[in-house]
């Protein structure tokens, strides 16, 4: 890949990615504080300052290495997790669901926002490629984060949601997987299981839902 093309790709994705990870992590912190846990607030993590949420390895080094190693075919990264003491929540098992759901929900809302921006730009006759590509990147990045984080295995948000929904005995069994969950998920990603049987179907559903939500706006701009 030529250096000019790489720089353009980085510039297109930089803003959507920064917003996606920052708002995702801040949403967990806001939800945790709302349900009784002030840990994230005391550590200064309830903020829209992206520097507070960037993990040097997970947010910068790993995505860059994977981008170059796979010529952009496979990307993965993560932000610095917001600390949550689930035992500090007023109703730990129930409130855990809402705290975990807050992150992916924020990404879905952001995907709708970027899609709305794309519709408005096209509807107003503004066809600057850079901004159109940034809007498309914003939709894709946020739908990937939404879908991936909902995968039902701890420590991902979907795993914590599952623990909150299951009866105590089954919930404890799933929770014990958490120390190994990251490695299991990575193995499933590399094997193509997560992409083929989770990400693609869920993202397809997400795109369809956004089309449905934005249909009235698209009709008005025609």
By C-alpha distance, which of 127, 81, 87, 122 is closest to 103? 81
Residues ≥6 apart with Cβ < 8 Å to 210: 111, 112, 115, 139
Give the number of other Cβ atoms within 10 Å of residue 78's Cβ.
18
Please, are residues 183 and 154 in contact by the beta-carbon 8 Å criterion?
Answer: no
Residues ≥6 apart with Cβ < 8 Å to 122: 132, 221
Please, are residues 142 and 114 in contact by the beta-carbon 8 Å criterion?
Answer: yes
By C-alpha distance, which of 102, 105, 113, 104 is closest to 139? 113
Give the number of other Cβ atoms within 10 Å of residue 196's Cβ.
10
Is 133 assigned a catalytic role?
no
Determine which one of 25, 128, 133, 178 is catalytic: 25
Active site amino acids: 25
């Amino acid at each position: 890949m030529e250096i000019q093309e790489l720089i353009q790709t980085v510039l297109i994705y930089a803003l959507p990615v920064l917003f996606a990870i920052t708002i995702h992590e801040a949403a967990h912190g806001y939800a945790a504080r709302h349900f009784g846990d002030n840990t994230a607030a005391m550590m200064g993590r309830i903020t829209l300052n992206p520097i507070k949420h960037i993990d040097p390895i997970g947010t910068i080094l790993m995505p860059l290495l994977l981008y170059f190693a796979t010529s952009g075919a496979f990307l993965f990264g993560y932000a610095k997790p917001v600390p949550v003491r689930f035992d500090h929540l007023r109703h730990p098992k129930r409130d855990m669901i809402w705290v975990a759901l807050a992150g992916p929900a924020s990404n879905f809302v952001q995907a709708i926002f970027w899609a709305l921006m794309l519709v408005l730009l096209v509807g107003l006759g503004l066809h600057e490629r850079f901004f159109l590509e940034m809007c498309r990147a914003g939709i894709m990045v946020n739908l990937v984060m939404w879908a991936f984080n909902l995968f039902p295995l701890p420590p991902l948000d979907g795993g914590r949601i599952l623990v909150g929904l299951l009866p105590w005995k089954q919930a404890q069994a799933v929770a014990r997987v958490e120390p190994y969950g990251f490695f299991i998920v990575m193995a499933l990603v590399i094997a193509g299981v997560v992409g083929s049987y989770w990400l693609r179907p869920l993202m397809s559903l997400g795109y369809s839902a956004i089309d449905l939500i934005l249909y009235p706006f698209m009709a008005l701009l025609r």
